[in-house]
Structure formats: structure tokens, C-alpha cells
Amino acid sequence: MTREKMIKKIKFLAKEAKLRIQYKMAKDCIFCKIVKGEIKSAPVYQTDTVMAINDINPVAASHVLIFPKRHIDSVLTVKKGDGEALEDMFAVAQKLISERRLEAFRLAFNGGRYQHVPHLHMHLVAGSTIKWSQL
Ligand code: AMP
Ligand code: ZN
């Protein structure tokens, strides 16, 4: 096999492996399962593209998770075509902040070792003292 052919084959195998990992993450992803209704949840609000649910382990009086229905791994994998999903997430956050008349709030994305659910999500926390270290 020529050097060029070998490089082409390695690139192909790497691409395949990446796709397999992405597929596995989406398949086993807890938030994807919530979107599909395979795990029960009581959505606080949802649109065609975004879901908002109460955090199961709240760190403040109000703790909502806002995430795109389409699987995106994390802030590290957000790319150009994802803009609309992000806009929709912020629109949902704005709606909840306004409806709940939240005068002080925090919006946070965790990443790296701080991120436990590998599906992009925004924390909307407000109310009593925020246990920031637990977020
Ligand atoms: P992070 O550490 O940023 O990935 O945050 C993940 C959040 O998801 C944590 O605050 C968890 O309490 C929350 N969580 C995990 N599973 C569920 C679930 N089934 N329903 C609601 N919230 C969840
Ligand atoms: Zn997912």
C-alpha cells in the first residue's frame, strides 16, 4: 500500500470512529431520552427546538435546565450551524426570566470535568442563595 493510500485509510478510520462515538453518546444520552419521552420528566416549557426542565438536584430555589432537543455534546463542540439552537435557548431563558419576574439570576454552562451530562445545557438559577459550588 502506498503512503498516500495508508494516510487516506487512517483518516477514514478516524472519521468512522468519531461518528461511532458521537452516535453512542446521542443514543445513551439522558437528555436525548428525556426529549424522546423514554425518561419521564415534567417540562417547565418547550418549543419545537428547545426543552426546559427543573433540575432534579436544585442548587437554588429556582433551577431550570435549558437544552436543545437536537443533541450537541458541549460548548466545546458548538459550531456555526448550531446558532439557531443557541438563539432558541436564550429565547426560552428570557421568557422564563420574564414570566417568573426574576430580578437576579445566573445563566451557566459547565464544561470539561464540571459537565456531567454530555448534552449541551444551560443552567438558569435564581432565588435564594445559590450553592454555586454544587452547580
Ligand atoms: P452539569 O453538571 O452541568 O452537566 O449538570 C447536569 C445537571 O443535570 C445536574 O445539575 C443534575 O442535577 C441534572 N440532572 C441529571 N439528571 C436529570 C434528570 N433526569 N432530570 C433533571 N435534571 C437532571
Ligand atoms: Zn443528547
- Catalytic (active site) residue 121: yes
The confidence score (pLDDT) of residue 95 equals: 98
Angle 109-111-112 (CA atoms, 0-180°, nearest 5)? Answer: 170
What is d(CA 65, CA 44) in angstroms, rounded to the nearest whole number?
A: 9
Give, using CA atoms, the residue closest to atom 18 of ligand 1.
56
Q: List pocket residues of ligand 1, CB cut-off 6 Å.
A: 30, 41, 53, 55-57, 65, 110, 115-117
Q: Give the ligand at the shortest distance from the Cα of 65.
A: 1
Q: Is the pLDDT of residue 53 over 80?
A: yes
Q: Which atom of ligand 1 is nearest to the CA of 117?
A: 4
- 124 CA distance to ligand 2 middle (Å): 19
66 vs 15: which has the higher pLDDT: 66
Give domain limits for the chain: 29-134
Output the residue whose Cα is nearest ligand 1's atom 12. Answer: 57
Q: Where are the alpha helices (DSSP H) in the chain?
A: 3-28, 30-36, 83-99
Residue 42 burial (C-beta neighbours within 10 Å; 0-12, 13-18, 19+): exposed
Q: If we measure between CA atoms, which residue out of 63, 85, 73 comes closest to residue 134?
A: 63
Return the minimum-mean-pLDDT range out of 13-17, 38-42, 78-82, 104-108: 13-17
> What does the pLDDT read at residue 20?
67
Q: Which CATH architecture has domain 29-134?
A: 2-Layer Sandwich (3.30)
**Ligand 1 centroid, distance to 117 Cα (angstroms):** 6
